[in-house]
Structure 1
């Protein structure tokens, strides 16, 4: 009988599966020790990590990667320190594994407990961002899950060095090194194989552009925790404070335009627009933002390019903002419903009833009143690092932290009961 050769992807998934059994039994103290070692290793090896990242950046420039992708790819000492601090923040968060979510006492004396448990093996398929490598490893470790990582070719050297550093750190702890696996095969077939490793990988989480996410959702036979692109909107109501609106809109667009919670479309009530849109547009342009607007926007503000139908749908991930003047709250909500991606939507208004209607009626993972959409982030929500932001409605929605990486089982405690 000829033995079928096991592929490298399958082998890594098998190793992760074996490690997941050991991870599920670790105490919180053991897991926290692993996180602490990983954080310190990032600091100790920062020069090697940054050198590897420089090679990815050099190759990215040669390949003509966009400004947005280069920003996502770039590591700095500050960003590395942020990654290390993200791991340390997880230490201070309660371990969800073993939490008794519900308890039922039956008349026959049975005690039934609903208990949080790890998912098992998580497959991460992601683009550009090497920080995802560390975030995913840390979140998986804290929740007793193993993780199989497959980053993009653009971050190959960064990801390989980061995993090497994490492995060296874990070797000094009780955490199994095989709990963090990196698929180094950059062929598209490796992605397809990961998505069909039912029985070895329990869930796939895609993180990247619309093309990647759509492919994973379409082709994966392993269950998918879908993260979404962010065509986020800010609606400035007729009763919005001009100074507050300006501050929120500029922050939402310019703070870090290449991330999914940056605002991509500005909706402005016609009455507010008549008095304040010209000033807001000028401030945005002073901050380097290119504006693409409807006819009414272009009549009220200078140097605005005409917006096409495609502009209302685009996630620019750049210093570009679409602007549409609307007649009412209802029209703004209809625009968001038609073009939005169910990620993050905001209203700026001093009218509490208008805000209530918006917050209740807009379908998105996060809805805001008088605040920037840039807060849709695991650390900003107090979850520590996040594995991604889910725009679906089953299992998890919004920033996915520790609890979202667990399932549950029923623990039934008896004293000899049988069913007659």
Structure 2
């Protein structure tokens, strides 16, 4: 007889498949929808955030009450919390996204001497899945990026944010899509808080060929392994932790400011996690750095460490207010530590010496590297002016770093007679010639 576990998995699988089927029905129409309609839906979401403020905050209060009762860490509670300021920030990001020009559908690669023209065409994936941590704003971030990229979506969030996310779907996202003449079913939220739904999401390659995986730690990595076994491609963000290398010729006041700026939020992936001080400056800089950390109510883990040097503190709710400190023997050694002992999410170098900065930057292979600036800048909106679906830290070809709507497409090669109207550039289509769509970014 089927076990209780089998029954849970079966229910979750049915729910995910039903969501994918509803999303798929509107995917083709969304792919061909006028740019103006897509942007109208985004602006409508921004307006409806204000109109639904009371309902959203009330639902979020219930989520927070349940989170406190369940013992959710202060950092996780902070990520879960909605405030008036955060709602306004979410609305501002939607308006900014609506104002950004849509990507060209076709890019000319070559006008050939045989009378043919080679183009690269962008095509939506179709239905994209997303599994993400209990942060209500991410529900809107990902939905908006899917919409702008013309992809339907199936979203699954942590149980702690389910009330808030449901309210965003019913009061903001769905109504805005309807008002803009788009099918509200193209964005689906899995109603099941059971973790089995996350595994179902990465197990349906025929329905959901690509899944965004956000979160931290082993649970997200395990979802990625499950997806690989089922032939589902993922853009995964399982690990984080920013590194700061204080090199020779660093400005002490600037270092203190960087540390403070890097610890404004402790529950995010790009916060300062590992602080490396050049051996030649260690004794000089350490006392002031310890005072800065103490002022920020952050504990310094000093050598010898009873943990891995790259241990990610944001994943440890009981000790999230911690930064690991160690010495490095020059910029190449610091870069090697960051490459080999951390997730390679982001690293920064603090120095006034261009030679030191260049050595560190050239040796560090991670997703983002910063000179005299904070790793907190590794964020879609901070770097690119766009909300992100997540930060992909894969070490293979494909979108890396903050993933936005510009990355969520399939590349297709198209060969047509030179001068033919492909209907592909812009909404009306133009005859193909060597400059048509030239310069549009590719994969």
Q: TM-score, normalised by structure 2?
A: 0.87
Structure-2 separation of matches of 1:211 and 1:67:
21
* Alpha carbons of structure 1 residues 97 and 210: separation in structure 2 relative to 1, 3 Å: farther
Partner of 1:94: 101
Shift of 1:357: 1.3
Q: Tell me what 1:308 maps to.
A: 306
The alpha carbon displacement at 1:103 in A equals 2.3
Q: In 2, are the aligned partners of 1:69 and 1:258 still within 8 Å (CA)?
A: yes
Q: Where does structure 1 lack aligned partners over 5 or more consecutive residues?
A: 296-306
Instruction: Tell whether 2:69 aligns with 1:73.
Output: no
Distance 2:62 2:24 in 1: 32
Tell me the distance in 2 between the aligned counterparts of 1:383 and 1:224: 24
What CA distance in whole angstroms lies between the structure 2 residues aligned with 1:190 and 1:264?
31
RMSD of aligned C-alpha atoms?
1.9
Secondary structure of 1:124's aligned partner: strand
Correspondence 1:124-273 to 2 at 5 A: 124-165=130-171, 166-220=173-227, 221=230, 222-253=232-263, 255-273=264-282
- The residue that corresponds to 1:302 in the other structure is none
| Contiguous gaps of at least 5 residues in structure 2 | 1-9, 421-443
1:280 equivalent among 266, 289, 308: 289
In 1, Cα distance between equivalents of 2:260 and 2:226: 39
CA distance in 2, matches of 1:293, 1:110: 65
Over 3 Å counting, the alpha-carbon distance change for 1:405 and 1:416 in structure 2 is closer
Within 5 Å, give how 1:39-58 maps onto structure 2: 39-58=46-65
**CA distance 1:376–1:91, shift in 2 (3 Å):** same
What secondary structure sits across from 1:219 in the alignment? Answer: helix
Q: Which deviations, in whole Å up to 9, do the C-alpha atoms of 1:16-40 show, x marking residues without a partner?
A: 1121111100121110011011111
Task: Measure, in 1, the Cα distance between the counterparts of 2:411 and 2:329.
Answer: 47
- What's the counterpart of residue 303 of structure 1? none
Q: Is the 8 A contact 1:231 1:264 kept in 2?
A: yes
Whole-Å separation in 2 of the counterparts to 1:73 and 1:394: 33
Q: Distance in 2 between matches of 1:184 and 1:276?
A: 51
**1:415/1:268 Cα in 2 relative to 1: closer, same or farther (>3 Å)?**
closer
Confirm or deny: 8 A CA contact 1:97 1:117 kept in the other structure. no
What is the CA deviation profile of residues 286-330 of structure 1, one whole-angstrom value per residue up to 9, with x for unaligned ones?
Answer: 1211111115xxxxxxxxxxx323353224363211110223223
- CA separation in 2, counterparts of 1:416 and 1:88? 37
Secondary structure of the corresponding residue to residue 154 of structure 2: strand
Q: Deviations over 1:76-108 (max 9, x none)?
A: 11111111111111111121251x334212222
What CA deviation, in whole Å up to 9, does each residue of 1:331-367 have, x standing for no partner? 2122212211011100001111111111111011100
Three-state SS of the structure 2 residue aligned to 1:268 is: strand
Matched residues, number:
401
Residue aligning to 1:375 = 377
SS in 2 for 1:363: coil
Paired position in structure 1 for 2:330: 328
Q: TM-score normalised to the size of structure 1?
A: 0.91
Deviation for aligned residue 1:117: 2.2
